[in-house]
Amino acid sequence: MPELPEVTTTVKALNKVLPGLFVLDVWTDLAKKDQKIKQFKNTLKDKKFFNKFRRDIKGTKVKNVERRAKYILIHLSNKKTILIHLKMTGHLLFGKYEFNKKENKWVPNEKERKELRDPYNRFIHVVFTLAKSRQRRASYKNLVFCDARKFGKVTMIPTTKLYDKDSTLQVLGPEPLDNKFTFKQFKKRLLIKNSGKIKTLLMNQEIISGIGNIYSDEMLWIAGIHPESQPANIPDSTLKSLYKEMKEILKKGISSGGDSTSDYRHIDGKKGSFHLSHKVYKRKGKKCSKRGCSGVIIRKVINGRSAHFCKIHQKLF
DNA sequence: TGCAGTGTTGCTTC
DNA sequence: CGAAGCAACACTGC
Which nucleotides of chain B are near protein (any atom < 7 Å from a CB)? 5-12
For residues A16 and A153, membership in a common domain is answered with yes
For residues A218 and A72, membership in a common domain is answered with no
Question: Domain total for chain A?
Answer: 2
Residue A136 lies in a domain: yes
Q: Which nucleotide is nearest to A88 (CA to C1')?
A: B7
Which nucleotides of chain C are near protein (any atom < 7 Å from a CB)? 2-6, 8-12
pLDDT digits (tens, 9 = 90+) for A31-54: 999 999 999 999 999 999 999 999
Residue A177 lies in a domain: no
Residue A297 lies in a domain: yes
CA of A37 to C1' of C7 (A): 11
Domain membership of residue A30 as a residue range: 4-161
For residues A190 and A156, membership in a common domain is answered with no
pLDDT digits (tens, 9 = 90+) for A75-127: 999 999 999 999 999 999 999 998 988 878 888 887 766 655 454 467 999 99
CA of A250 to C1' of B8 (A): 18
CA of A200 to C1' of C12 (A): 26
| CATH at A289 | 1.10.8.50
CA of A183 to C1' of C4 (A): 30
For residues A264 and A143, membership in a common domain is answered with no
For residues A34 and A81, membership in a common domain is answered with yes
Residue A187: the pLDDT is 97
CA of A119 to C1' of C4 (A): 36
Q: Which nucleotide is nearest to A38 (CA to C1')?
A: B11
For residues A155 and A191, membership in a common domain is answered with no
For residues A116 and A251, membership in a common domain is answered with no
Whether the model clears a pTM of 0.85, i.e. scores above it, the answer is yes
Q: Which nucleotide is nearest to A6 (CA to C1')?
A: B7
Residue A118: the pLDDT is 57
Q: Which residues of chain A have pLDDT under 70?
A: 1, 112-121
Residue with CA nearest C1' of nucleotide C2: A193
Residues with CB under 7 A from strand C: A 37, 87-88, 119, 148-151, 193, 195-196, 200, 303-304
Residue A211: the pLDDT is 97
CA of A200 to C1' of C3 (A): 12
Cβ distance A263 to A248 under 8 Å?
Answer: no
For residues A24 and A122, membership in a common domain is answered with yes
Residue A224: the pLDDT is 97
For residues A95 and A32, membership in a common domain is answered with yes
